[in-house]
Amino acid sequence: MKDIKKIEIIQRPPPPEPARRTNPLARVFDELVRFCQSRSMFMLHYCTGCGAIELPPAMTSRFDMERLGIQPMVTPRQADILLVTGYVSVKTLKRIILTYEQMPSPKYVIGICSCTVNGGMYWQSYATAKVLKDYIPVDVYIAGCMPRPEAVISGLRALMEDIRTGRGDAWKKYYQNYDFYLGNQQRLFGEKWQTPTDVIAEAHHYGMMTDQTLGEHTDLLEQNEVPLDALRTRLKARTE
Ligand code: SF4
The structural domains of the chain, ordered by start, are 20-168 (3.40.50.12280), 170-240 (no CATH)
Residue 177 banded pLDDT, cuts 50, 70, 90: very high
Residue 188 Cα to ligand 1 midpoint, Å, equals 22
Ligand 1 atom index nearest CA of 144: 1
What residues does 81 pair with on adjacent strands? 43, 108
Higher-pLDDT residue of 98 and 231 is 98
Residue 8 Cα to ligand 1 midpoint, Å, equals 24
Determine the distance from the C-alpha atom of residue 232 to the mean position of all C-alpha atoms in its chain, rounded to a whole number: 30
Residue 47 confidence (pLDDT)? 81
22-73 pLDDT, tens digit per residue, is 788 888 888 999 999 999 999 987 788 888 888 888 888 888 888 999 988 8
Ligand 1 mutation pick, 54, 55, 114, max ligand atoms within 8 A of CB: 114
**Residues with beta carbon inside 6 Å of ligand 1?**
49-51, 86-87, 113-115, 120-121, 145-146
Q: Which residues contact 116 (CB under 8 A, 6 or more apart)?
A: 84, 86, 87, 88, 132, 138, 141
pTM of the model: 0.85
Residue 118 Cα to ligand 1 midpoint, Å, equals 11
- The amino acid at 205: H
> Closest residue (by CA) to atom 8 of ligand 1?
50
Q: Report the alpha-carbon distance of residue 181 to residue 201 in Å, rounded.
A: 16
100-132 pLDDT, tens digit per residue, is 999 998 999 999 999 999 988 998 899 999 899
Residue 96 Cα to ligand 1 midpoint, Å, equals 17
Checking 197-203 for CB contacts under 8 A at 24+ apart, the result is: 197/98, 197/101, 197/102, 199/101, 199/174, 199/175, 202/105, 202/175, 203/175, 203/176, 203/178
Residue 191 Cα to ligand 1 midpoint, Å, equals 30
* HSE (side-chain half, CA atoms, 13 Å) at 94: 13
